């Protein structure tokens, strides 16, 4: 049951060009920094990335955009990245925008083994175009499909050798649903401990969802909008 | 006429004691600063937090603790964290009592457009579509007219929609209005010093004026 791999390079070694991958985090909060760096180093191309955001120019997924490794982004909000905008306007990058809750719920559907879910978000808007609809109790819903991603890459605070994960504060965000939605889930953690060390009552993601785990290093944990009280 | 803080102060009067509230980016965020004493609200941040506190004091920022605007924030006693799927689950299930957000356009049947201007860089809808599709009560905080001087309260939205028939109330620098589908923008209050005629001029959609319209009371 030991799921520990040496480092990010080993963890992502079999992610091929053209793969669909999920990347956890919200903005720059709780992103899998080590794995992103390893993907940049490996140079994997034509990736479809399912991620709430697309990083900033010199951090997060922005690093993979700079090296032109991303073919398509599936996100809810992508505003903080000039290189992203350039590639989008020049047609180099394809973007599919999805309501944030729908994005999370399509992960959840995959995590819970459900093929699709009915949601209200987007009814009557361009998001509904081409989608099956159904009325329940007089309210119209859209059919949204579970994501099918070969790899999910997430970052947790603590993890154990069985792949059990614990997150800190608002880093649970998309890391938790994505960790449970990938066919192969790779988790990088700030602190890796032997199985039996974490309190079983405190586990957020049970290890059954996690296939590879390693202790990351040199976390920068960049803050996107540093705001303080006056 | 109100400034942004005035709009925030007026909306703060709408917040009920014991409610769960989601605040959008911009003027809605300011509302938290003006909630009357004795009114206890729990702020929901859709990136996974109930019980959002103020910005941290300098030096106590935590990269693992941000709001949906990606700003550093703090906890309050009783804070709970969760993931994005659960966060939108509680929104979808109608557990959040009030959502306050900005808009580019609102129509007289309660449609809202606030995420996309064709021809301009599209950043995405974030959680706006999920919130407007689900919240029991939605108040829009916005300017009555856009920078070009055109009314943002329209018979029908011209921009791509965020949600349909969902907006209940609008607070602008000129007025408080209730959106009643089939009827129009029902004028409830005037901003200090603003006449009904001025509000009528700034409203492209159908404005309903019934009886004497009181002036807002703002501290």
Provide the shortest C-alpha distance from residue A45 to chain B (in Å): 24
Provide the ipTM.
0.97
Distance CA A224, CA B4 (A): 25
Contact B83 A176 (CB under 8 A): yes
Provide the shortest C-alpha distance from residue A68 to chain B (in Å): 20
Burial of B119 (0-12, 13-18, 19+ CB in 10 A): exposed
Neighbours of A208 (CB within 10 A): 11
Res B166: pLDDT = 96
Neighbours of B3 (CB within 10 A): 10
Whole-model pTM: value is 0.96
Task: Sort out which chain B residues have CB atoms less than 8 A from A101's CB and list them.
Answer: 46, 84, 87-88, 91-92, 127, 129-131, 134
* Contact present, A51 and A23 (Cβ < 8 Å): yes
- Give the CA angle between residues A78, A83, A84 to the nearest 5°: 30
Strand B20-23 to A151-160 pairing: unpaired
Res B121: pLDDT = 79
What is the sign of the dihedral through the CA atoms of B82, B87, B90 and B95?
Answer: positive
Q: pLDDT band for B122, please (50, 70, 90 cuts).
A: confident
User: Above 80 in pLDDT, residue B186?
Assistant: yes
Comparing C-alpha atoms, which of B205, B204, B209, B203 is closest to residue B189?
B209
Instruction: Give the largest CA-CA distance in chain B.
Output: 54
Task: Sort out which chain A residues have CB atoms less than 8 A from B84's CB and list them.
Answer: 26, 52, 100-101, 103-104, 172-174, 176-177
Strand B175-180 to B169-171 pairing: antiparallel
Q: What is the pLDDT along chain A (230 residues), one digit of tens a residue?
A: 899 999 999 999 999 999 999 999 999 999 999 999 999 999 999 999 999 999 999 999 999 999 999 999 999 999 778 888 889 889 999 999 999 999 999 999 999 999 999 999 999 999 999 999 999 999 999 999 999 999 999 999 999 999 999 999 999 999 999 999 999 999 999 999 999 999 999 999 999 999 999 999 999 999 999 999 98
Q: pLDDT band for B72, please (50, 70, 90 cuts).
A: very high
Bridge partner list, B23? B100
Return all residues near A163 (Cβ < 8 A) that are at least 6 apart.
A3, A185, A187, A207, A208, A209, A210, A211, A213
């Amino acid at each position: 049951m030991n799921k520990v791999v040496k480092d990010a390079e080993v963890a992502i070694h079999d992610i091929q060009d053209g793969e669909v991958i999920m990347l956890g985090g919200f903005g720059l909060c709780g992103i899998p920094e080590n794995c992103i760096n390893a993907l940049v180093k490996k140079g994997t191309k034509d990736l479809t990335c399912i991620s709430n955001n697309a990083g900033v120019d010199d951090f997060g997924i922005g690093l993979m955009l700079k090296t032109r490794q991303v073919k398509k982004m599936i996100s809810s909000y992508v505003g903080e990245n000039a290189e992203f905008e350039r590639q989008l306007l020049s047609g180099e990058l394809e973007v599919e925008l999805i309501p944030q809750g729908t994005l999370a719920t399509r992960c959840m559907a995959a995590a819970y083994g459900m093929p699709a879910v009915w949601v209200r978000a987007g009814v009557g808007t361009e998001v509904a175009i081409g989608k099956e609809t159904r009325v329940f109790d007089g309210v119209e819903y859209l059919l949204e499909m579970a994501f099918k991603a070969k790899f999910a890459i997430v970052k947790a605070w603590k993890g154990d050798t069985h792949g059990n994960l614990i997150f800190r504060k608002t880093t649970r965000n998309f890391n938790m649903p994505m960790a449970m939605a990938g066919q192969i889930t790779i988790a990088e953690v700030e602190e890796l401990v032997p199985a039996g060390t974490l309190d079983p009552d405190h586990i957020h993601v049970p290890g059954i969802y996690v296939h590879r785990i390693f202790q990351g290093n040199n976390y920068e944990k960049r803050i996107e909008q540093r705001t303080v009280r006056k | 006429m109100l400034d942004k803080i005035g709009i925030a102060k007026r909306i703060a009067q709408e917040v009920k004691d014991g409610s769960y509230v989601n605040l959008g980016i911009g003027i809605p965020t300011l509302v938290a600063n003006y909630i009357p004493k004795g009114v206890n609200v729990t702020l929901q941040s859709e990136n996974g937090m109930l019980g959002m506190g103020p910005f941290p004091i300098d030096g106590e920022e935590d990269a693992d603790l941000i709001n949906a605007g990606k700003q550093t924030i703090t906890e309050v006693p009783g804070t709970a964290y969760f993931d994005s799927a659960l966060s939108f689950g509680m929104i979808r299930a109608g557990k959040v009592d009030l959502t306050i957000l900005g808009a580019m356009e609102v129509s007289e049947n309660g449609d809202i457009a606030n995420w996309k201007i064709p021809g301009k860089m599209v950043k995405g809808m974030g959680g706006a579509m999920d919130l407007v599709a689900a919240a029991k009560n939605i108040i829009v905080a916005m300017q009555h007219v856009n920078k070009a001087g055109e009314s943002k309260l329209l018979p029908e939205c011209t921009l791509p929609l965020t949600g349909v028939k969902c907006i209940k109330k609008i607070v602008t620098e000129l007025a408080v209005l209730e959106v009643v589908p089939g009827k129009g923008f029902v004028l409830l209050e005037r901003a200090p010093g603003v006449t009904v005629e001025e509000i009528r001029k700034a409203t492209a959609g159908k404005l309903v004026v019934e009886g004497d319209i009181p002036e807002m009371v703002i501290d």
